Amino acid sequence: MKNVKEAKNLEGQRILLRIDLNVPVSEGRVADDFRIHKTLPTINFLIDKKAKIILLSHFEGKSGKPETLKPIFEYLKKYIPGIAFAADFSGLEDLVAKMKEGEVVLFENLRLNPGEKTNDHEFTKKLASFGDIFVNEAFSVSHRNHASIVGLPKLLAHFAGLLFQNEVENLSKVFNPAHPSLFILGGSKFETKIPLIEKLSKNFDHLFVGGALAHNFFKEKGYEIGKSLVSNGNFDLKESLESGRIILPTDVVVGGGKDETLTKKVENVNKSEIIEDAGPETISKLKELIKTSNFILWNGPLGNYEEGYKDGTLELAKIISENTGEAIIGGGDTIAAITSLGLQDKFKFISTGGGSMLEYLLNETLPGIEALK
């Protein structure tokens, strides 16, 4: 897999640069620019090389449905002077024909066309007609078999972006971590994460399972979890628990509402309660474990982050940021916690991927990676 710095004669070349601008937008304004800033080095590299850059992205916003990229375009103006916006193919055709070296055009949301998700060949050919070279800088979407991820590399000379290569190089360290090593996995969707737990428990010395993922383990141990979120199914967790590498919360924050919460030992939760977050004893024990770890992988919050139960996750972010060992961090709520505390610069590497990070760690490749080979 070659990166864009290995490309020759970029001057005047039309570069289709796939990036991920699917960032939080509130009241028409970008609320979190983490992914945008991670992409800027590659954009600026191509500008310096006097290429003609056509940015391709998607955006689904809070609705979960494709929405216009215009609010993000307005934000990009601060960092890319003179950037233009193409609302459709005819507009893109006009702008690309007039582009000068070093100029940038943002094309409207790819997913407004159904051909993007279905990897439609005609849609892909139309996109490819506007470029000479394809660069994938959207690692966070590269677990998708979409036209702009796996279709374009078949039709154009192709390279990985600087961020994309950085993602692969850093995440690959997980397969042979420095010891002692600690994997902290939170969030929900147990059925999609249990294969990762089974795989990485063999690589890591300790694996802490928190968030709603822990509830299935609590059930396996015979603990009451009340009305807490739990994944249905028989996951046969006995062997994982008996391995001795799985660590679970020992105390939790419970309640039925934010104004009526209290901390309890896990074994004391009753049928009317909901487990919402990790308790202080759990965080204290994690802190001691983190102090002795030379390598840490963390993905997913320790509590119901979106509903305001953030204390455990925020405290964990602070503790890991102070650790001298290497840490790899990823996941939407995890990154939100770090950015809300202004700790981005305290971490050597923060992945832009959520689902793509987990899929890469499980399969050691992605459709987008294979397409670039």
Tokens standing for 302?
């320790």
Q: Is the pLDDT of residue 242 over 80?
A: no
Q: Which of 41-45, 153-157, 250-254, 344-348 has the lowest mean pLDDT?
A: 344-348
User: 179-324, what's its fold?
Assistant: Rossmann fold (3.40.50)
Sequence length of the chain is 373
The two structure tokens encoding residue 119: 């990897």
> Both tokens of residue 327?
């840490």
| Residue 260 pLDDT level (bands cut at 50, 70, 90) | low
Q: Amino acid identity of 200?
A: L
Q: Tell me what pLDDT residue 149 has.
A: 98
Band of residue 236 on the pLDDT scale cut at 50, 70, 90 = confident
Looking at residue 259, its pLDDT comes to 55
Q: What angle do CA 238, 304, 291 make, to 5 degrees?
A: 70
Res 62 pLDDT > 90: no
How confident is the model over 285-312, as a mean pLDDT?
95
Asked whether 281 and 247 are in contact (CB, 8 A), the reply is: no
| pLDDT in the model for residue 261 | 76
pLDDT at 251: 97
Is it true that 4-165 and 179-324 share their CATH fold?
yes
The residue extents of the domains of the chain are: 4-165, 179-324
Summarize pLDDT for 184-210 with one digit per residue, the tens.
999 988 888 889 998 998 899 999 999
Mean pLDDT of the chain: 94
What pLDDT, on a 0 to 100 scale, did the predictor assign at position 239?
Answer: 74
Residue 237 confidence (pLDDT): 82
Q: State the number of CA atoms in the 13 A half-sphere of 352 facing the CB.
A: 27
Distance in angstroms (rounded) separating the CA atoms of residues 306 and 290: 25
* CATH of span 4-165: 3.40.50.1260
- Residue pLDDT, tens place only, 95-135: 999 999 999 999 999 999 999 999 999 999 999 999 999 99
